[in-house]
Chain A
């Protein structure tokens, strides 16, 4: 079974600084997707960024980028120029890539609570 581990229960960063959230995963599959979701106090789950395992290039979305190390099974999220609105719980998630029924299942890590200090 796939597992996702987020080893940092809490992180803090100063406004305008850069922070990196860690995620490792375990899978025997060669093709899969990895995601970072943001959950602000409103509870809404918001997709921040995704990475397809077959792509070597790291995904980037504005101030958010990932460092995807397939061999090490590592998928960290870097937030640049942190803003107060970035404060939230961040979840790393894994999904198999083929389109069979149960393969849409997302396996989540336990989350990292990010605090942004003004």
Chain B
């Protein structure tokens, strides 16, 4: 199992550009989510999905879109990048259920918007 993979690892964008951060998992997890990590802020939830075709907003969704067409993939789209979106982005996944304790994190994508 590759676990949770994210691409790219690093990205530099200019203000106004668009891009998609890719996330994939091969563990057949129903639940997937995106977090952003900023210095001194911990990790904050952007969007999440409880299964293919189902997505919902988290704590900081503005400026980001997601879709979930397959169980394996959960891409995060920035339609018009802003400097405030400079951050490290983590994708995470887990099984659903009362004993689904652990969320598995990808290696992160460091995004810089100039």
Chain A positions within 8 Å of B, measured between CB atoms, are 4, 9, 33, 42-45, 47, 50, 91, 97-99, 101-102, 104-106, 108-111
Contact = CB atoms under 8 A, between A and B. Distances in A.
A101 B45 CA distance: 13
Contacts of A9: 40
Nearest to A6: B42
A2 to B, nearest CB: 11
Contact of B107 (A44, A47, A101, A106): A44
- Chain B contact patch, size range: 20 to 34
B94 A104 contact: yes
A108 B110 CA distance: 19
B44 interface: yes
B48 interface: yes
Contacts of B74: none
A104 B103 contact: yes
A47 B100 CA distance: 13
Contacts of B45: 105-106
Contacts of A43: 88, 107-108, 110
B41 A110 contact: yes
A110 B82 CA distance: 23
B105 A44 contact: yes
Contact of B48 (A98, A104, A111): A104
A108 B103 CA distance: 13
A100 B102 CA distance: 16
Contacts of A110: 40-42
Q: Which 9 A-B pairs have the closest CB atoms?
A: A108-B42, A45-B105, A101-B50, A108-B43, A110-B42, A43-B108, A104-B31, A105-B45, A99-B98
A81 to B, nearest CB: 25
Nearest to B101: A50
Interface in B69-114: 88, 90, 92, 94, 96-98, 100-103, 105, 107-108, 110
Contacts of B61: none
A106 B103 contact: yes
